[in-house]
Every structure is written in C-alpha cells, then in structure tokens.
C-alpha cells in the first residue's frame, strides 16, 4: 500500500510583530493520505481512491524574524515547511502512521456496523 500525502497549509493567523505586518504566527493545516492502489465506492457509485485526513493548528516561533517574508510573497510551500519544522519529524511520522491505519481500516475493515431485526 503506497500512500501519498498532501499538505494544505493555506489558512493562517497573522498579526503585526516587531513592525512586520501580517506576520504568520499560527497555521491551520490538513494532511491527507491517498492510497491510489485501493478504491472504495462513493455515494454516487463511483470508485474513488481511499483517503483519510487529519487537521489541526500549529503555532510558529516568531521570536526571530530576521528572515521575515512579506505576506504577499509567501507560498503554500513556505508555510508547509514552517509547519513541518515546528512539528518535527517524529510528530509527522506519528500523524502519517495514524492516516495509514485509517486507510488500512477502510480497505480491510476489522469492524462492521449491522442492524438487528
């Protein structure tokens, strides 16, 4: 099962810090895992790739703004890099493992919901 991960780090909280307007200090992120090798049927009966996602927010360290980037010049890639650095590799690995487990459960359920009578 090869899972591809996609970050969405476009929604941010900003404020003026040390005279720098629109300084990003908090990021609302979503990480989605997609297993293109397996599909499930959606509500319209179409086969779609199995996905799982998790979201949260990450506060950024704004104590050193010597490399400040103006808001208008920011890219989603910049912000994603800040989020990943702030979280650390171990936390990201933990989050991805949770997505992997969710996808595995969708592909091969260990629990079923049934109705009696």
How confident is the chain (117 residues) per 10-residue block, as mean pLDDT? Answer: 92 97 98 93 90 98 96 97 98 98 93 91
Tens digits of per-residue pLDDT, 8-22?
A: 999 999 999 999 999
* Of 26, 25, 32, 24, the residue nearest 8 (C-alpha): 32
The answer to whether 9 and 76 have CB atoms below 8 angstroms apart is yes
Tokens standing for 38?
């397996």
> What is the model's pLDDT at position 40?
84
For helices 76-87 and 89-107, the axis angle rounded to 10 degrees is 100
> What pLDDT does 30 receive?
98
Q: What is the pTM of this model?
A: 0.88
Looking at residue 90, what is its pLDDT? 98
C-alpha span between 2 and 9 (Å, rounded) = 23
pLDDT at 1: 57
Name the helix (H) or strand (E) containing 31: strand 20-41
pLDDT of residue 29: 98
């Amino acid at each position: 099962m090869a899972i591809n991960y996609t970050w969405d780090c476009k929604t941010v909280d900003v404020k003026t810090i040390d005279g720098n307007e629109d300084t990003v200090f908090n990021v609302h992120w979503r990480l989605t895992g997609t297993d293109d090798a397996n599909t499930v049927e959606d509500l319209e009966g179409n086969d779609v790739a199995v996905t799982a996602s998790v979201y949260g927010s990450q506060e950024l360290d704004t104590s050193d703004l010597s490399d400040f980037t103006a808001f208008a010049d920011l890219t989603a890639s910049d912000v994603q890099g800040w989020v990943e650095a702030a979280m650390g590799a171990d936390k990201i690995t933990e989050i991805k493992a949770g997505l992997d487990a969710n996808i595995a459960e969708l592909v091969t359920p260990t629990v079923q919901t049934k109705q009696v009578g």
